[in-house]
């Protein structure tokens, strides 16, 4: 029996907070409830997260360039509903 996973589509909003990164997820579904942010402990973990979800190297480079300047970056994300629930639980 084949199990199909539901895909979630949304955006990641990432801001640097000292040595950590605050990552928020916003679903493309307007009826989805807001989720708790994920605190990424450092740049290495954040880059691993980006690679895990298949983000292009140029997008990763641009995201880190913006974060290093003290800005915020927004990236598109497509992943399983299970991953969204694990990283960004409901309050």
Where do the structural domains in the chain lie, given as residue ranges? Answer: 7-76
pLDDT at residue 91, rounded to an integer:
87
pLDDT at residue 5, rounded to an integer:
54
What's CA 40's distance to the chain center, in Å? Answer: 10
- Asked if 73 and 66 touch (Cβ cutoff 8 Å), the reply is yes
pTM of the predicted model as reported, rounded to 2 decimal places: 0.85
Helices (H), the chain: 43-52, 57-68, 81-87
- Per-10-residue mean pLDDT of the chain, 91 residues long, equals 66 94 94 93 95 92 94 92 91 87
């Amino acid at each position: 029996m084949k199990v199909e996973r539901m895909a979630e589509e949304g955006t990641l909003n990432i801001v640097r907070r000292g040595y950590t990164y605050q990552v928020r997820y916003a679903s493309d579904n307007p009826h989805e409830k807001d989720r708790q942010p994920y605190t990424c402990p450092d740049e290495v973990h954040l880059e691993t997260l980006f690679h895990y979800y298949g983000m292009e190297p140029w997008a990763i480079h641009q995201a880190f360039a913006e974060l290093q300047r003290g800005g915020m970056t927004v990236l598109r994300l497509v992943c399983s509903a299970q991953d969204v629930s694990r990283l960004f639980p409901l309050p």
